[in-house]
Amino acid sequence: MTSFNNSILRSLVAGKLRLKEENPRKPEKKKKKKKKKKKKKGFCVAQSFREACADRARFDGSRVGSDLFGYQRLLSIVKKRVKQFKRLQSDRKICVKTNWRRPKGIDSRVRRKFKGFTLMPNIGYGSDKKTRHYLPNRFKKFVVHNVKELEVLMMHNRTYCAEIAHNISTRGRK
């Protein structure tokens, strides 16, 4: 009896014996490949941590802060435009400075937004509220004039970095 069972097992493994009868007219269905999810822009390192916290809150009802253990979400700082907007004809005339002024002439090609001419600033160039005023090192700038201001800044050393004011002497900077 054992030799009979072993021969059945061998034929099953080899694929010779089929347990189910298949209809020869119907072809086998091909398995569809699963699409990979694309990462969103501004994807953060702490995303999986935040998801884990959200899952935990769903199951046991506990609330977990977003910056638990000082672990804040790291957003990518996106600047829509880094170049400054220059004033029309500031490159041609010395008396016209580069500081932006809105052109107001009736025939102005810049004001009428013709293709290929100087771009005008508008609300669409604004930064994300969460990352506005952030430096590339993910700190906000704070101008320090004296030691007292520097001590106040030490309380917020995770969000602000110090910049010594221009009118502080070399001796005072030490």
pTM: 0.50
pLDDT band, residue 143 (cuts 50/70/90): very high
pLDDT band, residue 135 (cuts 50/70/90): very high
Q: Which of 5-19, 35-49, 70-84, 145-159 has the lowest mean pLDDT?
A: 35-49
Instruction: Give yes or no for a contact between 160 and 144, defined as CB atoms under 8 angstroms apart.
Output: no
Amino acid 76: pLDDT: 86
Which CA distances in Å does 158 have to 39, 42, 138, 161? 27, 20, 9, 8
pLDDT tens for 15-64 read 554 555 555 565 666 666 666 665 555 444 444 555 655 554 444 444 44
Amino acid 86: pLDDT: 96
Amino acid 62: pLDDT: 42
Determine the length of the chain.
Answer: 174
pLDDT band, residue 174 (cuts 50/70/90): confident
Amino acid 160: pLDDT: 95
pLDDT tens for 82-111 read 999 999 999 999 999 999 999 999 999 999
Q: Which of 5-9, 152-156, 159-163 has the lowest mean pLDDT?
A: 5-9
Question: Is the per-residue pLDDT at 151 higher than 80?
Answer: yes
Average pLDDT of the residues in 135-160: 92
Nearest alpha-carbon partner for 73 in 92, 46, 94, 91: 46
Nearest alpha-carbon partner for 132 in 71, 77, 67: 77
